[in-house]
Structure 1
């Protein structure tokens, strides 16, 4: 995530040439990120370049280069944007579900995966995929893992903190089976979702019973 500068402004991340300040510039950057997200999900990282992104966004390559040095910088900005978006979605849906049964919590998380991976189709799966090149940003995965640690504190309060951290990482790994097996469909593939749900539910119940 960007590091705050004195005065509260966010410093540009590596590869980011400058941060948009005017409304018109912010809209241009948002068009670039939207276009890049669609293309990464459709074609994969290796098959996308800045010319394709600019054309999809309806802007000149020169305008794109005012804000991003290359497609790596665009991917980094997307990952940061989705870290915030995913974290907000998890907080909103799970805020009132702290005392819910494991099955209900798992269904809520899978519903979030399904909804976000449809807007645009396949992008969340791309960002979470271990095959993403460059690899998925830690922040996107951490947005999920940190919320799971909080829920495990409620589901298994006697669990040692170190094990809770490890268990949360295992749950994330199992959840990513949505994209390792279901590919771009993710949680919208009903057969894959059912199997991932079964694996998650079995594991989470074991965690609760062991403590």
Structure 2
């Protein structure tokens, strides 16, 4: 019992301690996060420290600790922001009819456009590639990506279920989670292995997804035309 209590006490807090409401506090909050993202891109998450962030931002440690108890809380906030930016792009794509297509080629093209958007958003985000590594490597942060995946998958599920009455809902629910995870993995590959052919990776993942859903929604029969 004592050992379990000690383990829980040793676990770092990942929650932002407070969120500012006044302009000065908001500016400091954003400076901390921007600086953390820039440093993350330079040194990686293992070498990132709150002291480095304070030195680069010209802030005292108490100014940072007012909002973030440790570097993991910084990483979590940055991860939430990156996932939110990605999710907004996906939801906008869905709203614009991204899931609607009359041919496999059209489906692949629409998925390719989305994949390029997600890659670009992640690449432009300060420390984006390192945030993806942190999400995968640190168990304490994995729930951030899991929540994002499940939210996007749930939206896809509702759209596709409405468009395909009679479909096996358990299979569809699993499919939306799998394909969303596959898309994340393709983005990780593109950003973490810059020597790879990004266009080819995008093309292959989009064909995989399009063929998978074509098979699923047609009940296994090939699409005609």
Q: TM-score range by the shorter chain?
A: 0.7 to 0.9
Structure 1: state its 5+ residue gaps: 1-12
Distance 2:180 2:127 in 1: 18
TM-score, structure 1 as length reference? 0.77
What is the SS of the residue equivalent to 1:158?
coil
* Cα shift readout 1:65-105 (whole Å, capped 9, x = no counterpart): 11100011112222333343333222223212156223244
Change (3 A) 1:162 1:53: farther
C-alpha separation in 2, matches of 1:155 and 1:105: 17
Matched residue, 2:10: none
Q: Map of 1:33-44 to 2, 5 A cutoff?
A: 33-44=33-44
- C-alpha separation between the residues in 2 aligned to 1:200 and 1:189? 17
Contact 2:76 2:141 in 1 (8 A): no
The separation in 2 between residues aligned to 1:123 and 1:43, in whole angstroms, is 13
Q: Distance in 2 between the 1:173 and 1:66 partners? A: 35
1:103 is aligned to 2:103: no
Superposed displacement of residue 172, structure 1: 1.7
- Following superposition, the deviation at residue 198 of structure 1 comes to 2.3
Structure with the higher helix share, 1 or 2: 2
Deviation at 1:128, TM superposition (A): 7.4
Paired residues in the alignment total: 199
Q: Aligned partners of 2:130 and 2:115: how far apart in 1?
A: 12
> Which residue matches 2:215?
206
1:8-37 CA-partner distances (Å, limit 9, x unpaired): xxxxx9532221111121121122222223
Tell me the equivalent position of 1:10.
none
Moved more, 158-167 or 33-42: 33-42
Partner of 1:176: helix, strand, or coil? helix
Aligned to 2:65: 65
Cα distance in 1, alignment partners of residues 127 and 198 from structure 2: 12
Q: Is the 8 A contact 2:132 2:188 kept in 1?
A: no
Q: Which has the larger radius of gyration?
A: 2
**1:147-186, Cα deviation, whole Å (9 max, x unpaired):** 3223422553332332222111110222123245324368
- TM-score, structure 2 normalization: 0.73
CA contact (8 A) 1:17 1:68 kept: yes
